[in-house]
Amino acid sequence: MRKNLMLHYVYVLVGIYFVLVTLLYVFQRALIYFPTSAYQHNYQRIALENDNEKIDIIVLNAGKENGFIYFGGNAEAVIANAADFTVQFPNQTIYLVNYRGYGGSTGKPTKSGLFSDAIAIYDHLISRHQSLAVIGRSLGSGVAMYLAANRPVNRLVLITPYDSVLALAKKQFPLFPISLLLKDQYDSLSLAKDVKAPVLIIAGDQDTLIPVVHSEKLFNEFGSGIAQMVVIEGAGHNDISGFDQFYKRMICFFEN
């Protein structure tokens, strides 16, 4: 009787585990992407068509010789950067990308979709400029890495980047077979060898969402002399842009 009861509990626990695995697999993208709503603004915009989707791109300081493309975080309304970027980078045209499903862009975000859009955006814009750089923040660091590994960008800035989303997910869900479940692994580590542009990594030593050790692993994977890394003391994941070093380091990187 006691043995049967123990077996019953084991079966229940196994059943619960498989239900959780199923839920994690089905709803995994809801844990990675947090699309922002469309918003009204008076900035110039481009609606770029790619893969039957329309990607909304906000344009700042139009008409400059040099420019950069910005890929934001998983819940970031990129329009929030418009005022500061316009002031901090007056000599560059800036393109703030709304991912698929974000801020007026159509479709649903996936790794393959975001990667495809990044290439299409670069190819559409490069003829307008002498050079194009790319900035990726948090989730966007993986998109920026893919673009820099596949196109000749002028500079690459990675803000609070990860080595891979897979590595982060394994720490967050240690009891689950994440390697088998995760569709969008964003393996930036494997792309580092193909990046030839100068790289600046900016991380915060108080970042608990993407601990600095993950940024350091990525930094160490780049070729000799390609990357430099700045760790801002006291900075967390979401407040890092409020520290003086944040813009000072990027401005210096772009000007040198």
Model confidence pLDDT, tens digit, residues 47-93: 999 999 999 999 999 999 999 999 999 999 999 999 999 999 999 99
- The answer to whether 129 and 61 are in contact (CB under 8 A) is no
Residue 156, strand partner residues:
134, 199
Give 3's pLDDT tier (boundaries 50, 70, 90). low
- Tokens coding 217: 């692993």
What would the pLDDT profile of 85-106 be if each residue is shown by its tens digit? 999 999 999 999 999 999 999 9
Q: pTM of the prediction?
A: 0.94
Tokens 């700042």 label which residue? Answer: 60
Residue 174, strand partner residues:
none
- Tokens coding 191: 């792309």
**Domain 33-255: CATH architecture, name and number where available:** 3-Layer(aba) Sandwich (3.40)
Return left, alpha or beta for 163; rule: phi > 0 is left, psi -120 to 50 is alpha, else beta: alpha
What would the pLDDT profile of 104-163 be if each residue is shown by its tens digit? 999 999 999 999 999 999 999 999 999 999 999 999 999 999 999 999 999 999 999 999
- What stretches of the chain show up as alpha helix (H) in DSSP? 2-26, 28-32, 82-88, 111-125, 139-150, 165-172, 178-181, 188-191, 212-221, 244-255
Position 33, amino acid:
Y
Task: Measure CA 154 to chain center.
Answer: 18
Question: Is it the case that residue 18 has pLDDT exceeding 90?
Answer: no
Count other C-beta atoms under 10 Å from residue 151's C-beta.
Answer: 16
- The answer to whether 145 and 158 are in contact (CB under 8 A) is yes
More confident residue, 176 or 137: 137
d(CA 135, CA 155): 8
Pairing of the two strands 66-71 and 131-137? parallel
Question: Is it the case that residue 221 has pLDDT exceeding 90?
Answer: yes
- The answer to whether 124 and 147 are in contact (CB under 8 A) is no
d(CA 246, CA 243): 6
- What stretches of 194-243 show up as alpha helix (H) in DSSP? 212-221
Q: What is the average pLDDT across 214-221?
A: 97
- For 70, residues 6+ apart whose C-beta sits below 8 A from its C-beta are 78, 81, 85, 94, 95, 96, 97, 134, 135, 136, 137, 140
d(CA 238, CA 208): 10
Q: Minimal CA–CA distance to 139: which of 215, 33, 65, 12? A: 33
Domain residue spans of the chain: 33-255
- Tokens coding 189: 């580590």
- Tokens coding 149: 């590994």
pLDDT of residue 9: 66
Give 212's pLDDT tier (boundaries 50, 70, 90). very high
**Mean pLDDT, all residues of the chain:** 94
8-state DSSP, 164: B
Q: Is residue 202 helix, strand or coil? A: strand
